[in-house]
Structure 1
Amino acid sequence: MPYHEALAEQFHVYAPSHPGFGASDRPDWIDRLHDLAYVYHWFLDELKLGPLPVLGFSMGGWLAAEMMAMYPELIRRVALVGAAGMKPSEGEITDIFLMTPEEVAELRFYDKSQVPQYDELFGQSPTPEQQQMAVWDREMSALLTWKPYMYNPKMPFLMAQVKTPALIVWGKQDAIVPLHCGERYAQAISGAVLKVIDQCGHSPQFEKPQAFLDAVLPFLTAH
């Protein structure tokens, strides 16, 4: 993705496909988001990567929040983008598992005409193999994020202990994870900065790529 390329101009970028997603096997013991956080502790330890900056989107933002609560010594700074994991006290996180993938793609953006790669990413008919992989990924996502749906009730208390520098990036018109969740993250994490991007939905890295990079790059490169 273009934002990967932009980040790779200043960082060595790891963009992992999580265990149980894509072509990987589904580990029997992974059934909650914090189980994945253990996996990434082992990953960082094995490759001797920490401390390092972490960038997480949506469910991956929730994962990044769990990571910095569990092993802050390996995380230098964190940017959470439209992150799940925090229960809104107003409104609710949209249940994407009650919708078709096409409906979710439509809901993901405030204005899809702003997305330079919309047709390339979302406008093509998937192959049977891609359809099957999408079903597999959807099942794994549901397993990790169900009951309660898309949040950890302990998150406000976990984030209150965090001292890691944090940037919270949100599309103002996010129709999947409401902006109120971002405000709660910013309130809970000491010193966190909330950057709201107007006329933007759930995925600013696609819909407002320059505004997204303008917010994230200076933060991630800071010392």
Structure 2
Amino acid sequence: MTTPHTTTARPDLALTLSEAGDGRPVLILHGGGGPATVAGLAEHLAQSTHTITPTHPGWNGTHRPDRLRSIGALAAAYLEHLEERRMRDVALIGSSLGGWVAAEMASRDSSGIITGLVLINAVGVLVEEEPITDFFALDARGVAAHSYHDPERFYVDPTHVPAEQLSLRQGNMTAMRALAGDPYMHDPELLDRLRKIDVPTLLLWGESDRIVTPAYGAAYAAAFADARLEVIAEAGHLPQIEQPDATLAAIDAYLAR
């Protein structure tokens, strides 16, 4: 991965981007856990595409202006950045919160820039029968239990985390609350807008996700005009980490089509 650089998307909004590889542009959007959660995915895809992996404003110590207070505003900023660079045939891949950003971008794309869409255990829509778990109410054990098929493998005792890293995590949670805390983790209108997206969409879902269940993913997929849900066995909210081979194979096949 290249060294991250910043670019000004709008006055008072600098985007921190990491770019690598050549070929079709692929914008990879991380979730609440930060860019490390999609680093392996970006490294793999940089072998065959031009990957662009932002750090969302407010994550990992980056600046988030006070006026940036919604996922819709963040999606608009990323879309504007792609338009200013005159990019075409862009594939979006978003994990969790990043999947919500990607869906918002696709629903707002009036120029036909986006031609591919992959959502990985995305949040962003309201499914009455399958409520999104309140992530902010979970302790470290609860986060592991809800996020992973094998919680013990991925649980990290916060008392063993260096103070600097804990501070970054707290900053990430503050940014996530500001962008997605009210209404909690969804846009009430997004589900109805998904039908207008004409891009073939792949939704990948860990079968053991307890934050947004596979049933939530099925309802998400059903709202698109052209979408397919693929469930990843023995994986939770981050299948790209728990089952990278299966996840990457599904994405590679989708992009090849």
Normalised TM-score (structure 2): 0.79
Q: 51, 60, 64: which is aligned to 1:26?
A: 64
Number of equivalenced pairs: 217
Q: Which runs of 5+ in 1 are unaligned?
A: none
Q: What whole-Å deviation, never above 9, does each CA across 1:61-83 have from its counterpart, x for those lacking one?
A: 00000000001512111000000
Provide the rounded CA distance (Å) in 2 between the counterparts of 1:67 and 1:141: 18
Q: 118, 125, 142: which is aligned to 1:86?
A: 125
Query: Which one has the bigger helix percentage?
Result: 1
Structure showing greater relative contact order (alpha-carbon pairs closer than 8 Å, 6 or more residues apart)? 1
Q: Residues 204-219 of structure 1: matches in 2 within 5 Å?
A: 204-219=239-254
Q: Which runs of 5+ in 2 are unaligned?
A: 1-38
* Structure 1 residue 178: Cα displacement: 1.4
The residue aligned with 2:183 is 148
Q: Is the 8 A contact 1:86 1:184 kept in 2?
A: no
Deviates further, 20-29 or 169-178: 20-29
Percent identical pairs in the alignment equals 32
The residue aligned with 1:96 is 135
* TM superposition outliers: structure 1 runs of 4+ over 6 Å: none
Describe the SS at the equivalent of 1:142.
helix
Q: Residues 44-193 of structure 1: matches in 2 within 5 Å?
A: 44-71=82-109, 73-112=112-151, 118=154, 122=156, 125-193=160-228
Provide the rounded CA distance (Å) in 2 between the counterparts of 1:29 and 1:200: 36
Describe the SS at the equivalent of 2:118.
strand
Query: Which one has the bigger strand percentage?
Result: 2
Supply the RMSD in Å over aligned alpha carbons: 1.9
Describe the SS at the equivalent of 1:14.
strand
The one-letter code matched in structure 1 to 2:207 is K
Provide the rounded CA distance (Å) in 2 between the counterparts of 1:112 and 1:47: 41
* Structure 1 residue 123: Cα displacement: 6.8
With over 3 angstroms needed to count, the CA separation of the structure-2 counterparts of 1:49 and 1:111, relative to structure 1, is same
Q: Is the 8 A contact 1:183 1:194 kept in 2?
A: yes
Provide the rounded CA distance (Å) in 2 between the counterparts of 1:100 and 1:112: 13
Normalised TM-score (structure 1): 0.90
Q: Is the 8 A contact 2:149 2:208 kept in 1?
A: yes
